Amino acid sequence: MRRIFSLIIVAMVIRSVSVSAADSLEVYLKKAGAALGGNDFAQAMFLFQEALRFDADNVNALKNIGVLYSLRGDNEKSLDYLRRAVALDSTDGEIHNSLGITYTQLGDTTAALDHYRKSVHYKKDNPDFLRNLCGLLISRGRISEAESHLRHGLELDSNSAEMNYLMGNIMVTKKDNKAAGHYLSRAVALDSSEIRYRFYLGVAREKAGKSEEAEKLYKGVLAQDADHFEAHLRLGVVYALGEKYAEALEEFKKALALNPDSEETLIFLGAAYLYNGFPDKSKEIYDYLKEKNPEAARKMMSLMPRRIEEE
């Protein structure tokens, strides 16, 4: 009888410890989630790590620690935890999306693209996952695939400024200036503070022949970021096309100061020097381009006044 009673006590103790551990795990995970939601990343990291003391294979803790290391810029540690998480649950779209972000930060866009595709496969209706996938697809020139995903994404969330922006970029690439203007205007309307949206709306307006609108947009970008290389370059082109050669010359000078290795800027600057009555400086750039890249020199010559080419 005493033996049976002792066994019952032991069983009760074991059960109590087990329940206590489970309760503690849930408490740590709940507190960690609240800390993460409140942007208290240090506390969240501590609490998720504590949760792993109770369950070393807890997917929730593993994937969130991976995200937190990614936010810190420690991508190798991020990969370590995210790989452990995905090995335990390969169908979790959030883990694949986080792996895509970490691999992108490491410069491994092939691996990133694989995980972004998996994130969308497992969570087809997540606009954030679609946005990440499409951004990388566009940067890698996979325009048709990106467009297909974006159309679905915009059906889910037509008020996503980023997805409207990405679709606008695709339309610029496809030379559909009307559609580009529509999507990029929508992006700007949804988030006017984002400089990329206004710059690429300027590009769309410029390509549509609406130079005054493009000029205004580029100037607005430069008012927010005076060192925006592309805005200086495109504003210079707009000025040159409008025969404002002195203004164009100044913009090309500023662009070159920001990016001295830009052959495109040198081409425009060389032509602008000639139009402004500085043939010696124009020839100096032409000779430099001819030696470095004859094709660039030919492009510069194509911008010269016809009478100069004939001489």
Residues 147 and 193 in one domain: yes
Whether 115 and 132 map to the same domain: the answer is no
* Residue from 158, 157, 93 nearest 127 by CA: 157
* Contact status, residue 163 vs residue 130, Cβ threshold 8 Å: yes
Residues 118 and 128 in one domain: no
Write down the pLDDT at residue 308.
43
Question: Does 104 map to a domain?
Answer: yes
pLDDT number for residue 22: 56
pLDDT at 15 over 50: no
Q: Does residue 269 come out as left (phi exceeding 0), alpha (psi in the -120 to 50 range) or beta?
A: alpha
Residue 311 has pLDDT above 80, yes or no: no
236 plus 259 within the same structural domain: yes
Q: What is the pLDDT of residues 237-281, one digit of tens each?
A: 999 999 999 999 999 999 999 999 999 999 999 999 999 999 999
Query: Over the stretch 86-141, which tens digit does the pLDDT of each residue have?
Result: 999 999 999 999 999 999 999 999 999 999 999 999 998 898 999 999 999 999 99
Residue identified by tokens 């019952």 is 8
More confident residue, 124 or 191: 191
In Å, how far are 26, 68, 113, 144, 203 from 109, measured between CA atoms?
36, 21, 6, 18, 27
Q: Write the DSSP assignment of 240-264 as a string of letters.
A: HHTT-HHHHHHHHHHHHHH-TT-HH
Are residues 172 and 146 in contact, defined by beta-carbon separation less than 8 angstroms?
no
In a domain, 216, yes or no: no
Q: Tell which residue, 75, 9, 11, 64, has the closest CA to residue 40.
A: 64
Percent with pLDDT over 90 in the chain:
85
Contacts 24+ apart (CB under 8 A), 300-307: 300/266, 300/267, 300/270, 300/271, 303/267, 303/268, 303/271, 304/271, 304/274, 305/274, 305/275
Please state, in angstroms and rounded to a whole number, the distance separating the CA atoms of residues 10 and 12.
5
How far apart (Å, rounded) are the C-alpha atoms in residues 83 and 209? 50
Average pLDDT, the chain: 90
Q: What is the DSSP letter of 243?
A: T
Confidence band, pLDDT 50/70/90 cuts, at residue 23 = low
Dihedral sign from CA coordinates of 208, 213, 216, 217? negative
- Per the model's pLDDT, the better-predicted residue between 308 and 64 turns out to be 64
Chain centroid to CA 234: how far?
A: 21
Structural domain ending residue among the three candidates 92, 123, 154: 123
- CATH number of the domain that residue 192 is part of: 1.25.40.10
Question: How many domains are contained in the chain?
Answer: 3
Q: Does the structure show a pLDDT above 50 at 14?
A: no
Is residue 8 pLDDT above 80, yes or no?
A: no
Distance CA 240, CA 248 (A): 5
Is residue 211 in some structural domain? Answer: no
Beta-carbon contacts of 209 under 8 Å, excluding residues fewer than 6 positions away, are none
Q: Which residues of 149-164 are buried (b: 16+ CB within 10 A; e: fewer)?
A: bbebbbeebeebbbbb
Mean pLDDT of 149-160: 93
**What pLDDT, on the 0 to 100 scale, is given for residue 275?**
95
User: In angstroms, rounded to a whole number, what is the distance separating the alpha carbons of residues 169 and 249?
Assistant: 28
10 in any annotated domain: no
Q: Are residues 160 and 118 in the same domain?
A: no
Which domain range does residue 267 map to?
Answer: 229-311
